[in-house]
């Protein structure tokens, strides 16, 4: 979830920069991480709704229904996605044998007809009222119908079945041109040509985007990329030229010219052969261009989601709204808000940043711009704000006395909002007395390296350099 606004930014940038027509596809398992989600409004359902909104904003062309997209039940996915959401699944059917989702979606790119269908893997506990057909049962007739509707379409299958199953499908049905799989147990797989079908997948949970550039030809058949081949040949020729020049220089300088003769002959012969290949290939390319490209060509790239990408602002706004809703939900569900313990925190001389702000507005404004101020929000985005293992380093504890790596305390769950995130007192120490009489009770001005290291452990920050990082978090004077 945390990466969603970066992902949105990345997709938009790629689309804008390519200037090509594009299809945005996902093979599914985007809504939930677990198989069964509790009923009623809850954090997981709110998050799933937000994901659907973002996907819809990005104008995905087709999204396969994965088994984990069904964890919230059939009504959830059907109702909350609205009619427009481009879910596809050929093999989810109701009790009467009717398909529940669109079985395929048609697109046209320049003059090529494209049909996108999807196969859903069986969830361990399918929601009531649905049946998942096997691909063996559904595909023969489906492919015939898809082909009958449009002449010679380019067929894409999105599949959440496992990779071995997907291979079997491509082996059996050469009319499928591209199969994008979402095998939960595999990472990025560069495209492989099996029986005329290109099969590929990107690693799970949106950590990568797979970018497949396809040059559609007239014949529905994958061909070698002549331009790339030509570049390879020319590279090889360049390297031979260099070897030849070096050799000739050696021969000029040496007495024993015979010694190099064999090598010279071999390299010259290879170069001649290469020249011939290059001439032929150039003719092929010219012919292809004159007649219109006739085979389909592709290039691919997997693009990782980097931490330092900017966020797409619209998506980020949506996510922060989501976080507010989630917070409200948690507030409502807290059983007894009166338990005095709510505010009894492990080191109770802490006051929270608002009080500090009254006398130190400049430092507070600065602090708010640092990642420390949103450390709790980061957990919320990752749905980990209820995880006791995560909380200690993403809250304000008195670091003068604490080694959060080793702390697990139920009270962390009930921290006042003021002390969520890494606040002033994490670095400067508990400030109750100081706030009452600042001249009398001094705080630590410059937090020592050990204070940072309590949280910036090698497990969580593999390149912590104190001097360097200190510059980024040092509050300004004034």
Nearer CB in complex with ligand HEC: 55/353: 353
Ranges within 412-441 binding ligand HEC (CB under 6 A): 422-428, 431, 434-435, 438-439
* 97 backbone φψ class: left, alpha, beta (φ>0; ψ -120 to 50): left
Binding status of residue 332 toward ligand HEC by CB under 6 A: no
Q: How far is the CB of 457 from ligand HEC (least distance, A)?
A: 5
Residue choice 96, 306, 410, 472 for contact with ligand HEC (CB under 6 A): 472
Residue choice 90, 155, 156, 390 for contact with ligand HEC (CB under 6 A): 390
Q: How far is the CB of 343 from ligand HEC (least distance, A)?
A: 16
Which of the stretches 117-125, 233-241, 336-344, 353-361 binds ligand HEC when contact is defined by CB under 6 A? 353-361
Binding status of residue 443 toward ligand HEC by CB under 6 A: yes
Task: Report the b/e string of 70-92 with b at 16+ CB within 10 A.
Answer: bbbbbebbeeebeeebbbbbbbb
Residue choice 103, 363, 398, 420 for contact with ligand HEC (CB under 6 A): 363
Residue choice 94, 149, 272, 371 for contact with ligand HEC (CB under 6 A): 371
What's the first-to-final CA gap in the chain, in angstroms? 38
Binding status of residue 1 toward ligand HEC by CB under 6 A: no
Q: How far is the CB of 75 from ligand HEC (least distance, A)?
A: 31
Residue choice 389, 401, 417, 465 for contact with ligand HEC (CB under 6 A): 389
Give the CA count within 13 Å in the CB-facing half-sphere of 85: 23
Angle formed at CA 281 by CA 276 and CA 287, multiple of 5 degrees:
130
Residue 96 CA to residue 92 CA, distance in Å, equals 11
Angle formed at CA 156 by CA 152 and CA 162, multiple of 5 degrees:
140
Q: Which two tokens stand for residue 357?
A: 């702000």
Q: How far is the CB of 28 from ligand HEC (least distance, A)?
A: 24
42: number of Cβ within 10 Å = 15
Residue recorded with tokens 């990642």: 371
List the one residue out of 160, 162, 201 whose CA is nearest residue 178: 201
Q: How far is the CB of 386 from ligand HEC (least distance, A)?
A: 11
Angle between helices 261-291 and 226-253 (to 10 degrees): 160
Nearer CB in complex with ligand HEC: 6/297: 6
| Residues 376/420, Cβ–Cβ less than 8 Å | yes
Nearer CB in complex with ligand HEC: 135/412: 412
Residue choice 18, 41, 460, 465 for contact with ligand HEC (CB under 6 A): 460
Binding status of residue 297 toward ligand HEC by CB under 6 A: no
Q: How far is the CB of 200 from ligand HEC (least distance, A)?
A: 27
Q: How far is the CB of 312 from ligand HEC (least distance, A)?
A: 17
Binding status of residue 355 toward ligand HEC by CB under 6 A: yes
| Residues 388/8, Cβ–Cβ less than 8 Å | no
Residue 198 CA to residue 215 CA, distance in Å, equals 14
Nearer CB in complex with ligand HEC: 202/363: 363
Binding status of residue 474 toward ligand HEC by CB under 6 A: yes
5 DSSP assignment = H
Q: Name the burial class of residue 237, with classes exposed (0-12), middle (13-18) and buried (19+) by CB atoms within 10 angstroms of its CB.
A: middle
Q: How far is the CB of 378 from ligand HEC (least distance, A)?
A: 3
| Residues 159/169, Cβ–Cβ less than 8 Å | yes
Residue 94 CA to residue 88 CA, distance in Å, equals 15
Q: In sequence order, which ranges of 150-197 are alpha helices (DSSP H)? A: 163-172
| Residues 318/54, Cβ–Cβ less than 8 Å | yes
Which of the stretches 60-68, 126-134, 214-222, 453-461 binds ligand HEC when contact is defined by CB under 6 A? 453-461
In the complex, which residue's CB is closest to ligand HEC? Answer: 431
Query: What 3-state DSSP class applies to 110?
Result: coil
Q: Is the dihedral of CA 54, 57, 59, 64 positive or negative?
A: positive
List the one residue out of 420, 413, 414 whose CA is nearest residue 397: 420
Which of the stretches 110-118, 190-198, 209-217, 373-381 binds ligand HEC when contact is defined by CB under 6 A? 373-381
Residue choice 43, 89, 315, 374 for contact with ligand HEC (CB under 6 A): 374
Nearer CB in complex with ligand HEC: 27/420: 420
Residue choice 278, 405, 409, 418 for contact with ligand HEC (CB under 6 A): 405
Binding status of residue 387 toward ligand HEC by CB under 6 A: yes
Beta bridge partners of 222: 296
Q: Which two tokens stand for residue 180?
A: 């994008």
Nearer CB in complex with ligand HEC: 117/420: 420
Note the residues at the interface with ligand HEC (CB under 6 A): 2, 307, 351, 353, 355-356, 358-360, 363-364, 367, 371-372, 374-375, 378, 382, 384, 387, 389-390, 392-394, 399, 404-405, 422-428, 431, 434-435, 438-439, 442-443, 445-447, 451-452, 454-457, 460-461, 469-470, 472-475, 477
């Amino acid at each position: 979830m945390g990466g969603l606004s970066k992902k949105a930014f990345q997709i938009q940038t790629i689309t804008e920069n390519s200037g090509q027509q594009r299809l945005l596809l996902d093979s599914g398992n985007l809504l939930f991480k677990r198989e069964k989600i509790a009923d009623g409004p809850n954090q997981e359902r709110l998050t799933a709704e937000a994901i659907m909104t973002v996907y819809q904003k990005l104008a995905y062309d087709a999204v396969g229904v994965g088994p984990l997209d069904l964890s919230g039940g059939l009504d959830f996915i059907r109702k909350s996605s609205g009619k427009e959401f481009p879910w596809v699944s050929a093999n989810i059917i109701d009790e009467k044998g009717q398909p529940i989702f669109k079985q395929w979606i048609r697109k046209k790119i320049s003059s090529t007809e494209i049909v996108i269908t999807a196969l859903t893997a069986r969830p361990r506990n399918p929601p009531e009222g649905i049946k998942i057909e096997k691909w063996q049962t559904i595909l023969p007739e489906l492919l015939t119908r898809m082909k009958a509707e449009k002449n010679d379409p380019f067929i894409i299958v999105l599949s959440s079945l496992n990779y071995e199953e997907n291979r079997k499908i491509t082996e059996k049905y050469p009319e499928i041109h591209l199969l994008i799989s979402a095998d939960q147990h595999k990472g990025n797989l560069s495209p492989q040509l099996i029986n005329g079908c290109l099969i590929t997948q990107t690693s799970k949970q949106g950590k990568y985007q797979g970018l497949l550039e396809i040059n559609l030809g007239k014949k529905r058949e994958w061909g070698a990329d002549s331009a790339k081949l030509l570049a390879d040949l020319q590279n090889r020729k360049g390297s031979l030229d260099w070897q030849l020049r070096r050799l000739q220089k050696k021969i000029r300088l040496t007495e024993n010219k015979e010694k190099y003769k064999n090598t010279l002959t071999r390299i010259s012969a290879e170069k001649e052969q290469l020249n011939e290949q290059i001439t032929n290939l150039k003719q092929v390319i010219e012919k292809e261009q004159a007649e219109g490209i006739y085979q389909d060509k592709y290039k691919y790239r997997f693009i990782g989601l980097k931490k330092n990408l900017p966020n797409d602002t619209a998506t980020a706004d949506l996510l922060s709204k989501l976080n507010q809703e989630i917070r409200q939900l948690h507030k409502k569900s807290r059983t007894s808000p009166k338990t005095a313990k709510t505010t009894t925190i492990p080191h109770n001389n802490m006051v929270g940043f608002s009080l500090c702000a009254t006398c130190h507005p400049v430092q507070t404004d600065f602090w708010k711009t640092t990642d420390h101020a949103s450390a709790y929000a980061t957990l919320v985005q990752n749905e980990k704000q209820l995880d006791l293992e995560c909380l200690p380093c993403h809250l304000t504890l008195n670091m003068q006395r604490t080694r959060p790596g080793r702390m697990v305390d139920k009270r962390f769950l009930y921290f006042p909002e003021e002390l969520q995130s890494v606040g002033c007192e994490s670095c400067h120490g508990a400030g109750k007395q100081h706030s009452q009489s600042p001249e009398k009770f001094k705080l630590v001005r410059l937090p020592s390296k050990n204070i940072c290291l309590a949280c910036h452990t090698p497990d969580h920050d593999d390149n912590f350099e104190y001097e360097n990082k200190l510059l980024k978090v040092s509050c300004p004077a004034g």
